[in-house]
Amino acid sequence: MANRNEILNNFINNEELYELSGLSPESLNDISFNPDPAGDVLVESLKKLIHSYCKGEAKITVIKNINIEIERIYRP
Amino acid sequence: MIINYISMQNFQCFYGHHESNKVAFSDGINVIIGDNGHGKSKLWNAFYWALYDQIFDSDRERFVTTPQSEESIFSDRAKKECAVEEFVKAEIKLEVVDSRGERFEIYRTLKAKKLDDRNWEVAPTSKLLIRRYKVTQWQAVNESEHPSILERVLPGHLKPYMWFQGEQVNSLMDFQNTTSLTQAIQLLSDITDYDQLVEITRDGTHKSANALRTEQKRLSSDSSKSEDIERKVIAKQKELEDEERDRESNTKNKEAAEIGFDGLLNSISDAEKRAENKASLDSLTNKRDTNVQQLDSKIQALNKKLFSSHWVLKGCEPSITDFSGKYTKFLEYHYQKAALDKIAESQLPVDVPQPIFVNKMLADEACFVCGHLAPKGSDEYKHISGLLDRKIQSSTTFKNDCSSLFKKLYDNTTEYKNVILGIDSSISEEFSLMAKLRSEISSDNKSIEDINKSFGELVEKDQSENIIKEFRRHKKSLEDYQDAIYVNNININQITDELERLKQQTEKLVVGSPNKAVEATADIFNKLFELALSTRGLVFSNLVKDLEKSANDIYQSMAERNRSVIGRLNLRIMDSKTCFPEIVDSDGNSLAGSNDSNIRLVKLALMMAVLKSRSTWSQNYCLVSDAPTSKMSRNYSEGFYEALGKNFRQSIVITFDFVTETKKSDIKINNLGKVYKLNSVIPDGDRTKRDDLYTEIKELDL
C-alpha cells in the first residue's frame, strides 16, 4: 500500500481540488493529517478518506468515518 | 533478498553432495554458462524447486509440482547407485540475506525408497526447512513463518518479472494485448490504491444520494408522488449503470480496434502497393504459364503436324512435276501398246493347226495347209516341226500393268498439289506463332523478375491481402464502436438530465429544511468521487510517463552497441485508463517490422523499468533468468547485460552466451559478478548412459 502522505500529496496537486473546494493552492501548502476544526469540509473529508483507507479499514468503515466527519462539521 | 549461494545434492543432473554442487554468488551479474544439455535449465529448476516446490518439465513444457514430477527430481546416477530398500535423497540448499543483513538457509528435500531396479516409492511431498542465523548459530524457523520468509525472498507479485525464462518475456509483455502492461503496472505500482479510493467514493456517492432521497421523502408534501419519483429514479439509475457498462465495453473494444488500426496504418499503403503488384504478378504469371503450356503443346505437336498438315511433303513439287511428265509419257506408250495389241488380235490363234495335225504333217512329210511336200530335214519340215514348240501367248497386252497404281499416284499428287504449295506458309505461320509465344513468355518473365526483384521475398511471403482485410476490419470496428460510444454518450446525457429533473421534482416536494449534514454528505461524496477519479488519472499518467522515460533510457543503453536499432518505446494511455506499449519512430509513428531481438530488448527494458520504478526492488531482490537473451545476437545480449548491471544490485543469468570463453576476463561486461561454467560428464563418454552422468560446476578465473 502506498504511503498516505504520498497519496494526499497527489490529491493536493490535482487542480480539480481547487475548483471543487474553491480553495487556493497556497492555502493547502501546509496540509497534514491532523484534524483541523476550521478546515474545509471537502479537504477534511479527503484527509479522512485517505487516512482511514491507509489504515487498512474496510470500505464500509471508510465511508462511515467520512460520514461522521461531515456530521461533526455540520453539527449545530 | 539477495542470494548468497545455492547447492544441490542428487538433484536432477547434479549428482553428489552439496560441496561438489555449490554455486556462490556476489553482487553484480552472476553468469552461469553452459552448452545445450549441460544442466542450465536444471539449475534454474533448482532455484524454482527450492522456493516454489515446482520444476519445469521440458517434456510436458510446463511447471509441475513435486508429486507430478515423480522420481525425475533425483539424479539418475544416485538412483543407480542406491541399493534396493535404501533411500535416495535430493536436496537444494539456498542461502539468502535480507536488506537488514539477516541470513536464512532454505532447504527443500525429497526422499525416495528403491523397491527394485525399476520401481521407487517417492515421498508424497517434499520437506521444507528454513533456518535463521542468530548471533553465532543457525536456528530452525517455525513452520508458520515459512510462507512469510519465502515471500520475503521474492514477493509473489514480483516473481513473474524477476524470475523468468527467456520464452516467458513475450507473454509477460505482450504488445498485442492491451492489458498486459497495465496488469504489470497494477501489480507493481500503487495505482490499485487509487482504484480502491475511486471505488470507495463511488460507493459513498450512491449511499449518500440514497440517504438524501430518503430524507427528502420524509419531508415530502406528497409522499405518493415522492414514492413514484423514487421508483423512476431507481429505474433510471439502473438504466444509467447499464449504459455506462455498455460504454465501457465499447470503449475497450474501440481501443483494441484502434491499436490494430494504428498498428497497420503504416503497413497499409505498402500493403496496397504490394497487393496491386501481387495482382499484376498473379495475372502475369497466369498469362506466362498459359503461353508456356501453349508453346509446349505446339512443340510437341510438331511431329504430328508433319503428317496432319502434310509438312512431310515439303519440297516434293519437282518430284511431282517429274512424275507427272513421266506419267504422261507412260500413258502415251500404254495407249500405243494397247492399240498394237488390238491389231495382233486379228492373226491366227496360236494352236492352229493343232499339234495332232502338225504331227500328222510331219509323219506325212507334207503340209496340209498349202499342199507342199516337206521332206524330213528340209526347211519346210523344220518350219512345221517348229510349230510344235509354240507357246500359248497371254491374251493381255501388259504382263504387269501398273497403270492403275500410277493413276492413283497421279490423282493423289494432283489432289495434294495445292496443299503442298501451301506448306511453306503453314510452317511459317506456325513458327511465327511459336516465336510470338516465346517473345511474350520472355517479356512476362522479365516483368515477373522485375516485380520479384523489387519486393524481394516479400511477394512469396506476402500478407498484403490479409493486412488489407485486417485493416478494413479494424477500421470498420473502430467506426462501429465510435458510433456506439456516441450513442452511449447521448443516452447517458439524456438519462442524467432526466435524473436531474427528477431530483428537482423531489426537492420541490420538500417541505421544511432537510438535514444539512445529509445534504452536505451527498455533495461531498460526489466531489470526492470526481476528485479520486481525476487524481487516479493523473497518477497513472505520471507513472506511465516515468516508466516510459525509464524504459527508454534502459532501451537506449541496451541498444547503443547495435547500430541497426531504431525507434523508441511509446506508452499510449487509452480512454479506458489502460496503457499500451508500442515502438515508434522519431515522429511518433508506429514502427512495424521490428526484428525479434529488438522487440525482446524493448520488452526486457520495459520489465526492468517497471521493476526499477521502486528502487528497493532492484536493490533488495535478485533477478534470476534462464536464457533471457536466447533470441538475441551478441550485440543485443551485451546491451542487455550492460543494462542489467546498471539497474540491479544482483542478478543471476543462466545462458548459452559466452559458452566459448574460458576466462572470466574474456567476458566484457561491467559489474560482472561470479562466472561459472556447467559441464555434464559421462565417464566413459557414452552419452546414452544418463545414469552415469554428473555435472561439473567450474568457476572461471580471471
- B517 vs A70: CB contact, 8 Å cut-off? yes
Please list every residue in chain A whose beta carbon sits closer than 8 Å to the beta carbon of residue B210.
Answer: none
What is the reported pLDDT for B460? Answer: 47
The alpha carbon of residue A30 is apart from the nearest alpha carbon of chain B, in Å, by 19
pLDDT tens string A16-35: 999 998 888 888 888 888 88
Residue B154 vs residue B81, higher pLDDT: B81
pLDDT tens string A50-67: 999 999 999 999 999 999
Pair B89, B45: CB distance under 8 Å: no
Cβ neighbours around B31 below 10 Å, total? 24
Could you say which of A2, A20, A74 has the minimum Cβ distance to residue B531? A20
What is the reported pLDDT for B397? Answer: 62
Mean of all residue pLDDT scores within chain A: 89
Domain count, chain A: 1
What is the reported pLDDT for B317? Answer: 84
Please list every residue in chain A whose beta carbon sits closer than 8 Å to the beta carbon of residue B521.
Answer: 66-67, 70-71
pLDDT at B494 over 90: yes
What is the reported pLDDT for B571? Answer: 85
The proportion of chain B whose per-residue pLDDT surpasses 70, expressed as a percent, equals: 91
Residue of B nearest to A44 (CA): B524
What is the reported pLDDT for B457? Answer: 46
pLDDT at B394 over 60: no
Q: What is the residue range of A55's domain?
A: 4-74
The alpha carbon of residue A17 is apart from the nearest alpha carbon of chain B, in Å, by 7
Please list every residue in chain A whose beta carbon sits closer than 8 Å to the beta carbon of residue B190.
Answer: 1-2, 6-7
The alpha carbon of residue A12 is apart from the nearest alpha carbon of chain B, in Å, by 9
Pairing between β-strand B137-140 and β-strand B163-165 as defined by DSSP bridges: unpaired
Mean pLDDT of B97-115: 92
pLDDT band at B142 (very low <50, low <70, confident <90, very high): very high
What is the reported pLDDT for B456? Answer: 55
pLDDT tens string B270-320: 666 666 777 788 888 898 999 999 998 888 888 888 888 888 888 888 888
B72: closest CA among B59, B85, B81, B87? B59
Strands (E) in B102-162, as ranges, are: 103-114, 120-122, 127-134, 137-140
Could you say which of B194, B200, B527 has the minimum Cβ distance to residue A62? B200
- A42 vs B527: CB contact, 8 Å cut-off? yes
Mean pLDDT of B624-651: 84
- B520 vs A17: CB contact, 8 Å cut-off? no
B390: closest CA among B352, B446, B356? B352
Q: How far apart are CA B159 and CA B149, in angstroms?
A: 14
What is the reported pLDDT for B361? Answer: 87
Could you say which of A59, A62, A74 has the minimum Cβ distance to residue B517? A74
The alpha carbon of residue B12 is apart from the nearest alpha carbon of chain A, in Å, by 40
Please list every residue in chain A whose beta carbon sits closer than 8 Å to the beta carbon of residue B614.
Answer: none
Mean pLDDT of B579-591: 76
pLDDT at B521 over 80: yes
Q: Grid coordinates representing B640?
A: 542487455
Could you say which of B200, B525, B538 has the minimum Cβ distance to residue A10? B538
What residues does each domain of chain B span?
348-392, 541-673
pLDDT at A2 over 80: no
Whether A9 and chain B come into contact, CB under 8 Å, resolves to no
Cβ neighbours around B378 below 10 Å, total? 13
Pairing between β-strand B622-626 and β-strand B163-165 as defined by DSSP bridges: parallel
B105: closest CA among B11, B10, B18? B18
Pairing between β-strand B87-97 and β-strand B2-9 as defined by DSSP bridges: antiparallel
**A/B interface, count of CB pairs below 8 Å:** 78
Q: Which amino acid is at B189?
A: S
What is the reported pLDDT for B643? Answer: 85
pLDDT tens string B29-55: 999 999 888 899 899 999 999 999 999
Q: How far apart are CA B282 and CA B280, in angstroms?
A: 5
What is the reported pLDDT for B567? Answer: 77
The proportion of chain B whose per-residue pLDDT surpasses 90, expressed as a percent, equals: 29
Mean pLDDT of B152-171: 82
Residue B243 vs residue B163, higher pLDDT: B243
B625 membership: H or E segment, kind and range = strand B622-626
Mean pLDDT of B458-470: 64
Please list every residue in chain B whose beta carbon sits closer than 8 Å to the beta carbon of residue A42.
Answer: 524, 527-528, 531
CATH class of B541-673: alpha beta
Mean pLDDT of B209-231: 88
What is the reported pLDDT for B101? Answer: 85
Q: Which amino acid is at A37?
A: P
- A66 vs B524: CB contact, 8 Å cut-off? yes
Residue of B nearest to A71 (CA): B517
Residues of chain A numbered 36-65 and touching chain B (CB < 8 Å) = 41-42, 45-46, 49-50, 53, 59, 62-63
Residue B628 vs residue B460, higher pLDDT: B628
Mean pLDDT of B227-239: 90
Which of B204-213, B238-247, B460-469, B599-608 has the least mean pLDDT?
B460-469
pLDDT tens string B424-462: 888 999 899 999 999 999 988 888 887 777 665 454 455
- A14 vs B204: CB contact, 8 Å cut-off? no
What is the reported pLDDT for B320? Answer: 84
Termini Cα distance of chain A: 37
A50-54, B600-604, B617-621: range with highest mean pLDDT: A50-54
pLDDT band at B70 (very low <50, low <70, confident <90, very high): confident
Whether A23 and chain B come into contact, CB under 8 Å, resolves to no
pLDDT at B593 over 60: no
The alpha carbon of residue B109 is apart from the nearest alpha carbon of chain A, in Å, by 35
- B193 vs A7: CB contact, 8 Å cut-off? yes
pLDDT tens string B332-374: 888 888 888 776 655 556 667 777 788 888 888 888 888 888 8
Q: Which residues pair with B220 in a beta bridge?
A: B510
Could you say which of B190, B528, B538 has the minimum Cβ distance to residue A2? B190
Residue of A nearest to B543 (CA): A10
Q: Which residues of B632-652 are buried (b: 16+ CB within 10 A; e: fewer)?
A: beebbbbbbbbbbbbbbbbbb
**Which CA distances in Å does B279 have to A7, B292, B448, B457, B471?**
60, 20, 11, 16, 18
Could you say which of B190, B200, B520 has the minimum Cβ distance to residue A49? B200
Pair B676, B5: CB distance under 8 Å: no
pLDDT band at B513 (very low <50, low <70, confident <90, very high): confident
Please list every residue in chain B whose beta carbon sits closer than 8 Å to the beta carbon of residue A45.
Answer: 524, 528
pLDDT at B133 over 70: yes
pLDDT at B99 over 80: no
